[in-house]
Amino acid sequence: MAKRKATEELTTPEIKTDTTGSTEIIIERQEVETAEEIQEELSIAQKLLSLYYLQQICSKIDKIRFERGELPNEVRDLEDSLEGMNTRIAKHQEEIKLITEKIASENNKAKEAQVLIKRYEEQQNNVRNNREYETLSKEIEYQTLEIQIAEKHISKLQAESETKTAEISSYEEKSTEISDILNLKKSELDVIIAETEAEESALLEKAEVYKAKIEPRLLSAFERIRQNARNGLAIVQIERDACGGCHSLIPPQRQLDIRLHKKIIVCEACGRIFIDKQLVEEQQNNPDPTQN
């Protein structure tokens, strides 16, 4: 009964900050029997190894994607540029359509004015006095002015239409050029993806297997560290008494804590998780899951 009670009092892992400001992912434990302490150490070691193997898989995926270079980004940029050109062309075509309608409207105004001028001129032949004649003359003068205004508007609209037509030709030329480059880049990307797709898919499947073995809070911390790390490394070993990620010096006492792997410890400078080099080397004689 005492042993069961002690086991039930184990608490879940959590991230804490000690009085010195160092951050640690630790496991709070009550006093338990020596066998249970050993099992707890094995549990921490297993978690670290699962993270380590997951890191190896993620690094391989990163390498595959790095080999693709900037091609995916270039393809997206070219697609956006092509879409932008097509949008401009469609907009200009719509504007030219509206300009054509306005020109037709102005032509109709001019024709109506010409009809009225002809009618007024005929009426002038049958006037009874000078007053009627002058009134008709003013109407003729007004309609003549309307024709001149319409012709001015037409001239302006035609110039605008010609400018937009020239711009459409320029956009179409650029669009063709972009389309040719895009097709070339897509072909290059398709070749690279075809060469690495199977390997990447297999690695992604393995990564999911390892993620399922890691508790959510620890996995979330791992992914957050990876996202913020320049080289994508979230778990590192100590190299020459320094962090294998940021190369900050690690005090001897902290190195001892890392070797004991009684708790998960992270670098105070960069936040990366530490794994004991000896723990990794002990697994070298075992099959590496990332090589399957």
Residues 52 and 79 in one domain: no
The rounded Cα 87 to chain-centroid distance in angstroms is: 22
Residues 37 and 108 in one domain: no
Residue 207 within a domain: no
Residues 192 and 79 in one domain: yes
Q: Which of 47, 61, 57 is nearest to 215 (CA)?
A: 47
Residues 132 and 164 in one domain: yes
CA distance 169 to 114: 37
Residue 201 within a domain: no
Query: Strands (DSSP E) along 21-114, which ranges?
Result: 23-26
Residue 95 within a domain: yes
Residues 82 and 177 in one domain: yes
- Checking if the pLDDT of 71 tops 50, the result is yes
Taking residue 243's Cβ as centre, other Cβ atoms within 10 Å add up to 21
Amino acid found at 168: I
Domain that holds residue 91: 71-196
Residues 92 and 173 in one domain: yes
Per-residue confidence (pLDDT) for residue 198, from 0 to 100 = 81
Residues 87 and 186 in one domain: yes
CATH of the domain at 144: 1.10.287.1490
Residues 93 and 40 in one domain: no
Residues 82 and 183 in one domain: yes
The two beta strands, 273-274 and 235-236, are parallel
Residues 13 and 107 in one domain: no
Per-residue confidence (pLDDT) for residue 242, from 0 to 100 = 92
The pLDDT of 3-22, averaged and rounded, is: 40
Identify the domain boundary among 196, 223, 254: 196
DSSP string, 147-212: HHHHHHHHHHHHHHHHHHHHHHHHHHHHHHHHHHHHHHHHHHHHHHHHHHHHHHHHHHHHHHHHHH
DSSP-derived letter for residue 249 is B
Per-residue confidence (pLDDT) for residue 66, from 0 to 100 = 81
Each residue of 177-225: pLDDT tens digit? 999 999 999 988 888 888 778 888 889 988 998 898 888 898 999 999 9
CA distance 292 to 289: 6
Each residue of 159-185: pLDDT tens digit? 999 999 999 999 999 999 999 999 999
Identify the domain boundary among 132, 164, 196: 196
The pLDDT of 266-282, averaged and rounded, is: 88
Residue 256 within a domain: yes
State both tokens at 128: 């009874």
Each residue of 233-255: pLDDT tens digit? 999 999 999 999 899 998 999 99
Q: How far apart are the first and last CA of the chain?
A: 44
Residue 288: exposed, middle, or buried by beta-carbon count in 10 A (0-12, 13-18, 19+)? exposed
CB within 8 Å of 54: residues ≥ 6 apart: 207, 210, 211, 214, 222
Residue 208 within a domain: no
Residues 113 and 135 in one domain: yes
Residues 76 and 37 in one domain: no
With pLDDT > 90 as the criterion, what percentage of the chain qualifies?
44
Q: How many domains does the chain have?
A: 2
Residue 47 within a domain: yes
Per-residue confidence (pLDDT) for residue 46, from 0 to 100 = 87
Residue 138 within a domain: yes
- Checking if the pLDDT of 67 tops 80, the result is no
CB within 8 Å of 260: residues ≥ 6 apart: 41
Each residue of 94-146: pLDDT tens digit? 999 999 999 999 999 999 999 999 999 999 888 888 898 999 999 999 999 99
